[in-house]
């Protein structure tokens, strides 16, 4: 199953992932009307997990020998509210009308929690960004989802190079 060489685990091939149902992508697309009726906080909930995993994959690929603590520190800087808000604002004009509507719904959603380490405006835009990610993920729009996450990651890297 996993091949090791001197305590290093090789990357598992796509066939193994597919054969063992380890693929995170679902082949099922939810009905768009069902996704539109979901509470926007639920969209943000799934979007948070999807974006977090995407960023973890980006950093582990970019820094394969870095220890997990440092990788986590980088990830936290990338997924924090201010970074997501910055991406949401910069990407807004490139979004479709439907995507903009989801982002706005998320931004305007009332949250049960108050951010302790973020400005309220950043927190709201970050919620909108995560809702958009969740929306695209649940609709199985892989290509568009990856375009947006790639663009958000590039925005982060452009504005944050001096911290690394």
Structure tokens at 75: 């990830």
**93 and 153 Cβ atoms separated by less than 8 Å:** no
122 is catalytic: no
Distance CA 71, CA 26 (A): 27
Which of 155, 153, 102 is CA-nearest to residue 125?
102
Q: Could you say which of 19, 27, 31, 48 is catalytic?
A: 48
List own/partner pairs for 48-56 with CB under 8 A and 24 or more apart: 48/130, 48/133, 48/134, 50/133, 50/134, 50/137, 50/145, 51/79, 51/84, 51/129, 51/130, 51/133, 51/149, 51/152, 52/79, 53/24, 54/149, 54/153, 55/79, 55/153
Active site residue ranges: 48
């Amino acid at each position: 199953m996993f091949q090791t060489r001197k305590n290093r685990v090789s990357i598992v091939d796509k066939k193994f992932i597919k054969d063992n149902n380890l693929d995170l992508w679902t082949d099922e697309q939810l009905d768009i009307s069902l996704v539109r009726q979901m509470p926007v906080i639920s969209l943000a909930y799934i979007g948070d997990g999807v974006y977090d995993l995407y960023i973890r994959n980006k950093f582990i690929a970019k820094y394969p020998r870095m220890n997990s603590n440092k990788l986590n520190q980088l990830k936290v800087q990338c997924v924090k509210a201010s970074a997501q808000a910055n991406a949401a604002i910069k990407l807004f004009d490139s979004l479709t009308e439907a995507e903009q509507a989801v982002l706005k719904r998320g931004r305007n959603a009332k949250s049960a929690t108050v951010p302790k380490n973020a400005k309220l405006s950043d927190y709201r835009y970050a919620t909108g960004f995560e809702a958009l990610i969740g929306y695209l993920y649940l609709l199985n729009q892989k290509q568009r989802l990856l375009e947006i996450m790639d663009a958000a990651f590039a925005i982060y890297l452009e504005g944050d190079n001096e911290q690394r």
